[in-house]
Structure 1
């Protein structure tokens, strides 16, 4: 088990990463931070996080390294190469990628980390900005049991539904299943709100009635109220959801699987992005329906 004396490095302090790193600091862990845009890490630095000028410096001075970046290309950039994490992390340290990325990339990181006696886990999360702020994320983990056991106390600072799904890449596959579920659900939520308004109902009262029954979901209870308040601030960006659905669709096609709901949702979100909403929260989908 990793002790409280371990130094934690956190790469990526955006909407999700900032809150996750803050919770680690509040729990008493020493945290090093790096982000391409230093301004996004200033709040953490003011609270005592140690700023590192490069990924290399952070890797060299951390015992556990967490990454929460945007795209698979960003994951490759921070993990590989002479200035990347794997070339500079200490033997017997731990690397954990929270980014929703390609399962094949998670396996590649795991294999290269193993060659350098570094423990690697892929651990994408779900729960959005609210879950990150409250330390109640679902954390879906792929990798070895020994590494999972060692880091579980740290994971429990950031989440409450933490499951080792299987070997390397399994966390990513599980997160893609999560995104597939959300994809069709978001369409249903938008259609329900549009339907309620067309029928002359008070959509707030409709949500009160349907949010606790068989239709209950995170999207319905947390994002639908934001839709009604015209609050489209990103808890999770449209552009990142498009990235996740694209990876999921590629994986589904590799498995020769039918995925009509995923395809429809991806097409709708691409249309939304083309209308200038790529940096809005996923709840902005309602704009296509009203």
Structure 2
């Protein structure tokens, strides 16, 4: 709550597949909402529902007690937070900045340090759950930053997610998301390879999913992505280009820690093959099945 007892004013930057529904939950909860997106058209449903438009991150900061960002790449995060027209330069002391982009842990640490120097709080809070989790407010939210800032943000997080964990200091949320993406990378490979094997063996794909789901092979990736792979449905819940960004960050962090993760390295190479196809970058991660020749006759 703000100092007047009214709901805190929230700014939201990035109203795409994930951010649009997330911001909508906050608007419906009664928070005055100011939005900015590179394409105003992507924010139009929020504007129609009562959100205000800002022409820049600086304008969002000026209008908000809390600012949430969920954008594409670490370079976007750096510009939005640390650029001359960015959030830190224009936020009032006491503002809480929350980056929910999957981004670089080292950048999260830098943002928190520079924000603190100006009397501003900062959290890194990447999410897992994809577009379905964003729409249903069931996201898993992994948070790094100071405990007091986390407690202030908790009611806001509860409007967008179901599983909310404070993982440690600045950067800890991003490190947790990297671990999440590493697990997903090898799991998607396993689902794709299992379906490719089943197809080659002449098995019925739908029966296979029904047989595997309740057993030790069951997973969210099998349940959600398996049917899409069988159907040749590559519409993005999470785009290949964004997943590759995440895998690149994870590999760089692993190398910095002198950690060898061969499954992660292999997944990155395979997803790069998907991205190299026409339109591949904008497909969903289930398109990995295409590396194995597709799982359905129509793939």
TM range, smaller chain: over 0.9
Contact 1:136 1:158 in 2 (8 A): yes
In the alignment, structure 1 segments of 5+ residues that lack a partner are none
- Which residue is equivalent to 1:13? 15
Structure 1 position 287 matched with structure 2 position 290: yes
Distance in 2 (alpha carbons) for counterparts of 1:229 and 1:258: 35
- Give the secondary structure class of the aligned counterpart of 1:160: strand
1:213 corresponds in structure 2 to 215
For residues 134-174 of structure 1, give each alpha carbon's deviation from its aligned partner in whole angstroms, at most 9, with x where no partner exists: 00110000001101111101101101111000000000000
Aligned to 2:245: 243
Number of aligned positions between the proteins: 290
- Alpha-carbon distance between aligned partners in 1 of 2:71 and 2:183, rounded to the nearest angstrom: 22
Distance in structure 2 (CA, Å) of the matches to 1:205 and 1:31: 47
TM normalised by structure 2 equals 0.95
CA-CA distance at 1:199 after TM superposition: 1.6
1:4–1:180 Cα change, 3 Å = farther
d(CA) in 2 for partners of 1:220, 1:30: 39
Equivalent position SS for 1:39: helix
Please point out which of 63, 67, 70 is paired with 1:68. 70
- Whether the 8 Å contact between 1:98 and 1:123 is mirrored in structure 2 is yes
Q: Distance in 1 between matches of 2:168 and 2:186?
A: 26
Q: TM-score normalised to the size of structure 1?
A: 0.98
- Quote the residue 2:52 is aligned against: 50
Matched residue, 1:225: 227
Deviations 1:203-229 (A, max 9, x none): 111111212221122211111111122
What's the counterpart of residue 157 of structure 2? 155
Contact kept? 1:65, 1:96, Cα under 8 Å:
yes
- The reply to whether residue 278 of structure 1 matches residue 281 of structure 2 is yes
* Correspondences of 1:108-123 after superposition (within 5 Å): 108-123=110-125
Query: Aligned partners of 1:153 and 1:18: how far apart in 2?
Result: 19
CA RMSD of aligned residues (A): 1.1
TM superposition outliers: structure 1 runs of 4+ over 3 Å: 1-4
Spell out, residue by residue over 1:41-99, the C-alpha distance to the aligned partner (whole angstroms, 9 max, x if none). 11111111111111111110001000001001000111112210001111111000001
Mapped contact 1:4–1:28 kept (Cα < 8 A): no
Contact 2:7 2:30 in 1 (8 A): no
Gaps of 5+ in 2: 294-299
SS of structure 2 residue aligned to 1:278: helix
User: What CA distance in whole angstroms lies between the structure 2 residues aligned with 1:197 and 1:28?
Assistant: 50
Q: Name whichever of 194-203 and 84-93 sits farther off.
A: 194-203
8 Å contact kept, 1:23–1:135 = yes
